[in-house]
Amino acid sequence: MTPTGIKPEQLEFKQAEHYNLPLVKSFYKKNNMRAQAPKGDLIFIATSNNAIVAALRLHPVKTLYLLRSMCVQADSRHQGIGSALLDHIQTKLNDIECYSFPYTHLSDFYSRANFVIYDAQLVPEAISDKFYRYVNNGKKICLMKHQHNAD
């Protein structure tokens, strides 16, 4: 059980509707993230008793997507909630071409969700430009790409 008493199997997962966006923005702010929740993004949330405990965004970049703003509420981290949310969206990730820029210390976490380290020189310019902008601003990140399940 998590410190908040939430087990991953007790969570509800769903794609946030436009009317949920203010709640998602509030969740990010409460968890010290400057993330937004724009209408064009596909936003997925995990809830417990109708309260958001985790969220992530699939941000469109031309015909691709960038997984951004993955967040689990602070007192519920390291309990499997983030992994459960990523597991929930695997079908969606298998239908799209998706990249992510996780902090380097989180690369193992994302690799368990079928993301692999990718060379920035091999990705579309729209992705590599964003990646290099973050790196040049001192972010300790890596570039990862979701690999479709072979099931």
- Residue 3, in any domain of the structure: no
* pLDDT value of position 1: 39
- Residue 30, in any domain of the structure: yes
Q: Is 103 helix (H, G, I), strand (E, B) or coil?
A: strand
- Residue 54, in any domain of the structure: yes
- Residue 52, in any domain of the structure: yes
- Residue 1, in any domain of the structure: no
- Domain with residue 89: its CATH number is 3.40.630.30
Domain coverage including residue 106: 8-146
Exposed, middle or buried, 95 (CB in 10 Å: 0-12/13-18/19+)? exposed
Statement: residue 3 has pLDDT above 70: no
89-134 per-position pLDDT tens digit:
999 999 999 999 999 999 999 999 999 999 999 999 999 999 999 9
- Residue 17, in any domain of the structure: yes
Residues 14, 44: contact at Cβ < 8 Å?
A: yes
* Cα separation, 10 vs 48, whole angstroms: 7
Neighbour tally for 10: CB within 10 Å: 13
Residue 38 vs residue 128, higher pLDDT: 128
- Residue 2, in any domain of the structure: no
Our measurement of the distance from residue 67's CA atom to the centroid of its chain's CA atoms, rounded to an integer in Å, reads 5
47-94 per-position pLDDT tens digit:
998 899 999 999 999 999 999 999 999 999 888 999 999 999 999 999
Exposed, middle or buried, 111 (CB in 10 Å: 0-12/13-18/19+)? middle
Q: How many domains does the chain have?
A: 1
- Residue 25, in any domain of the structure: yes
Exposed, middle or buried, 96 (CB in 10 Å: 0-12/13-18/19+)? middle
